[in-house]
Structure 1
Amino acid sequence: MTDHTPTAPTADEVRQAARTVADLAAYLRTYPPLDTALPLLKPLVDEDTGVPVKLGDALIALYRIAANEPGLPGTTKYPLLYDVRDDALQLYDLHHLHYSLAELQHPQKAESGGTRRNAAEPGCR
């Protein structure tokens, strides 16, 4: 495996991603057919690569950066850092959204309990 240092996205690229999600939300408010809407949402809520998980990853990375920032006094830094960390953990808790979409797409499986993970499985609460 080769080492890969990711390049920073530009602020414009991040804004464009946010605009795309906003455009999707606006489109979904027009009530398209469910079989059109679900495939548009699936990548956003993927349990491994979806927006909640990746935004949580980004917030945890920011938490680590700020924790090591010598210019921030501890009395200011630590309460704010705990808030950032807690927000990231709440986003991680949304990893189950893809199961809800799967249940909408395949209601027969949902009725038989076939799409949602058992709460006893690893990674579930």
Structure 2
Amino acid sequence: MSDHTPTIPTAEQVRQATRTLADLAAYLRTYPSFADAAPLLEPVLDQDDGIPVKLGDALMALYRIAADEPALPTSRMKSLTLDGLRDFALHLYDMHRLQYDLAELHKLLESGTGSSQQDPEVPGCR
């Protein structure tokens, strides 16, 4: 956990963050060079502060809030919905590994390994 004291974000601040991410996705769909695109994705995929981890944190917090909410009656539907929310949050936590995939692509670019060279066969991949 960080020592950061949270402030209450406004709905508009959250919307602005999603608009910024939408702008990034739209830009990446224009096929910029890897050298231009990768630095923009590094903070997005950061293993500590990237979007998957932070969204996972937010969803896990929502899970705990909903699980303890007395106005939500205990039911099978509530349990299934909360289980799905928790599972999705855990899946997002696992996505922190994307940072390593991006680093590996950087290494390949720096080493000059291009698509013209034959990679060794990876078991299970064709």
Identify the TM-score tier after normalising by the shorter chain. Answer: 0.7 to 0.9
**CA apart distance, 1:104:** 1.2
Which residue is equivalent to 1:45? Answer: 45
What is the aligned-residue RMSD (CA, Å)? 1.6
Give the alignment's TM-score, normalised by structure 1. 0.80
The equivalent residue for 1:54 is 54
The change in CA–CA distance for 1:89 and 1:104 in structure 2 (over 3 A counts) is: same
Q: How many residues are aligned here?
A: 107
CA distance in 1 between counterparts of 2:23 and 2:106 reads 22
Q: CA deviation at 1:5?
A: 4.3
Partner of 2:96: 95
Counterpart CA distance in 2 for 1:4 and 1:47 is: 17
Structure 2 distance, partners of 1:83, 1:6, is 26
CA shift digits 1:16-52 (9 cap, x unpaired)? 1011011001001111111110000000000111000
Aligned residue for 1:74, secondary structure, equals coil
Which is bigger in relative contact order (C-alpha 8 A, separation at least 6)?
2
CA distance in 2, matches of 1:14, 1:53: 16
What's the offset of the Cα at 1:93?
1.1
Structure 2 segments unaligned to the other structure (5+ residues):
114-126
Q: Distance in 2 between matches of 1:106 and 1:16?
A: 33
The separation in 1 between residues aligned to 2:7 and 2:43, in whole angstroms, is 22
| Other-structure match for 1:33 | 33
Identity %: 64
TM-score (ref. length: structure 2): 0.80
Larger Rg: 2
Cα deviation code 1:75-108 (max 9, x no counterpart): 0422111110001011111110011111111114
Structure 1: gaps of 5 or more residues: 111-125
